[in-house]
């Protein structure tokens, strides 16, 4: 059994994203349809199975695990998973992506459980827009959640904003100013064609990262950051501040050459690429071999042979990937 996962393009896999629930208290228009059917609970990996999976990946050289969803913090007893993973030797970074709606009460316990960094989704600072984009009215709660996370003292906090033309593209400067004022980072994300959403035409709503950067540069000076994160974001430092601005550009910049990650969906499917369907059913293997890590590790190792070289996103009439982002784990 190798101690490091390496795929056939010689990319080391050191990062796993676990989607712990497909449910969410929001219904963001780029992520979900307004009428969603969620998975029956028996299909979800249990918290124990998720921790077991974490052990297998860490023994195979994974050093970073991101917990995501759906909204991970609304899963019952989710703190137990953070506490369990936080104790595993070999895990250097336990990180989280959240919509912040639960952070007022959970920021401190998450920090104590060993979470190092948090990514928080926030696309707009305007209540009416927030209502339209998330189909909830929880902007105030989210803003209080962000403050609670800052108060708890995480090593790094980053806002993630999906930018849609004619929805929130005119707010990118205000969002950078918000991040600068709070002393945190921000990344802007191009919308990806995952799942059939119906609410808007994704091609029409496309707003390129290069355009966002130009918009921001009318008010701030950006200097390319020398730090590399081996992630899809390209970072710039906002001169004279502590803030970094990142751009995640799946359409305009292909970041697959340096891909170091795999994802596990809510129901235990390991996805080898966000934009392709290659997968392995790890839940079946876990449940068929209780208490035995070896078949699970072997299945993960074998899957490295078919990790695709790259994603291919385009604006076909029908989305090629029918999975919604909440199942996949963004
Ligand atoms: N609920 C949490 C949150 O919103 O942060 C975690 C899960 S969410 C699926 C993770 C990230 O995926 C969020 O930053 C969200 O903005 C992003 N996302 C969702 N659907 C997307 C899409 N179609 N294209 C690009 N980003 C998307
Ligand atoms: Fe929920 Fe996050 Fe998807 Fe928004 S992006 S609907 S908060 S899972």
> What pLDDT, on the 0 to 100 scale, is given for residue 272?
87
Mean pLDDT score of the chain = 90
> Is a pLDDT exceeding 90 seen at residue 273?
no
The rounded percent of the chain whose pLDDT value lies above 70 is: 89
Residue of 123, 124, 138, 162 to test ligand 1 pocket, by largest number of atoms within 8 Å of CB? 162
The reply to whether ligand 1 has any atom less than 6 angstroms from the CB of 22 is: no
Average pLDDT for 176-190 = 97
> Is any atom of ligand 1 closer than 6 Å to the C-beta of 71?
yes
**Mean pLDDT calculated for residue range 258-268:** 91
With a cut of 80, say whether residue 250 has pLDDT above it.
no
pLDDT, one tens digit per residue, over 185-233 is 999 999 887 677 777 778 788 899 999 999 999 999 999 987 765 566 7
Across 169-185, average pLDDT: 98
Q: How confident is the model at residue 327 (pLDDT cuts 50, 70, 90)?
A: low
64-118: pLDDT as tens digits:
999 999 999 999 999 999 999 999 999 999 999 999 999 999 999 999 999 999 9
Q: Which fold has domain 5-328?
A: TIM Barrel (3.20.20)
Query: In the predicted model, what is the mean pLDDT of residues 283-302?
Result: 96
Indicate if the pLDDT at residue 309 is higher than 90: no
For ligand 1, whether the C-beta of 152 sits within 6 Å is no
Is the distance from CB of 115 to CB of 95 less than 8 angstroms? yes
> Could you write out the three-class secondary structure of the chain?
CCCCEECCCCCEECEEEEECCCCCCCCCCCCCCCCCCCCCHHHCCCHHHHHHHHHHHHHCCCCEEEEECCCHHHCCCHHHHHHHHHCCCCCCEEEEEECCCCHHHHHHHHHHHCEEEEEEECCCCCHHHHHHHHCCCCHHHHHHHHHHHHHHCCCEEEEEEEECCCCCHHHHHHHHHHHHHHCCEEEEEECCCECCCCCCCHHHHCCCHHHHHHHHCCCCCEEECCCCCCCCEEEEEECCCCCEEEEECCCCCCCHHHCCEEEECCCCEEECCCCCCCEEEHHHHHHHCCCCHHHHHHHHHHHHHHCCCCCCCCCCCCCCECCCHHHHCC
The Cα-based distances of 290 to 49, 269, 293, 296 in angstroms read 10, 17, 8, 10
- Looking at ligand 2, which atom is closest to the CA of residue 24? 1
Is the pLDDT at 166 greater than 70, yes or no?
yes
Residue 205 beta carbon below 6 angstroms from any ligand 1 atom: no
pLDDT at 258 (0 to 100):
80
Question: Which residues does a 6 A CB cutoff place in the pocket of ligand 2?
Answer: 24, 26-28, 31-32, 69-71, 99, 121, 325-326
Ligand 1, atom nearest to 71 Cα = 1
Residue nearest to atom 5 of ligand 1 (CA): 98
In this prediction, residue 232 carries a pLDDT of 66
Ligand 1 in reach of 24 Cβ (< 6 A): yes
Is a pLDDT exceeding 80 seen at residue 274? no
pLDDT at 157 over 70: yes
**pTM, rounded to two decimals:** 0.92
pLDDT at residue 316, rounded to an integer: 52
Provide mean pLDDT across the span 267-284.
86
């Amino acid at each position: 059994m190798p101690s490091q996962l390496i795929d056939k393009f010689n990319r080391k896999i050191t990062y796993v994203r676990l989607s712990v629930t497909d449910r969410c208290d929001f219904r963001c228009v780029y992520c979900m349809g307004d009428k969603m059917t969620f998975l029956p609970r028996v299909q979800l990996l249990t918290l124990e199975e998720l921790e077991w999976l974490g052990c297998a990946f860490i023994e195979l050289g994974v050093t970073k695990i991101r917990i995501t969803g759906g909204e991970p913090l609304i899963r019952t007893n989710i703190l137990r998973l953070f506490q369990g993973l936080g104790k595993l030797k070999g895990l250097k970074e336990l990180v989280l992506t959240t919509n912040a709606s639960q952070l007022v009460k959970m920021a401190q316990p998450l920090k104590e459980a060993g979470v190092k960094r948090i990514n928080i989704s926030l696309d707009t600072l305007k209540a009416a827009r927030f209502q339209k984009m998330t189909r909830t009215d929880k902007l105030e709660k989210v803003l209080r959640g962000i403050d609670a996370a800052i108060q708890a003292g995480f090593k790094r906090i980053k806002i993630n904003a999906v930018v849609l033309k004619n929805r929130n593209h005119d707010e990118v400067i205000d969002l950078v100013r918000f991040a600068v004022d709070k002393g945190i980072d921000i990344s802007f994300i191009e919308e990806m064609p995952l799942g059939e959403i119906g609410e808007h035409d994704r091609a029409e709503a496309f707003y390129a990262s290069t355009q966002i950067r130009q918009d921001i540069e009318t008010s701030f000076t950006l200097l390319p950051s020398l730090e590399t994160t081996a992630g899809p974001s390209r970072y710039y430092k906002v001169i004279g501040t502590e803030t970094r601005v990142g751009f995640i550009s799946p359409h305009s910049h292909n970041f697959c050459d340096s891909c170091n990650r795999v994802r596990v969906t809510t129901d235990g499917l390991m996805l080898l690429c966000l934009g392709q369907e290659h997968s392995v059913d790890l839940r079946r293997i876990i449940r068929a071999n209780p208490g035995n890590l070896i078949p699970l590790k072997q299945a993960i190792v074998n899957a490295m042979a078919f990790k695709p070289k790259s994603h291919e996103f385009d604006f076909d009439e029908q989305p090629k990937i029918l999975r919604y982002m909440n199942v996949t784990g963004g």
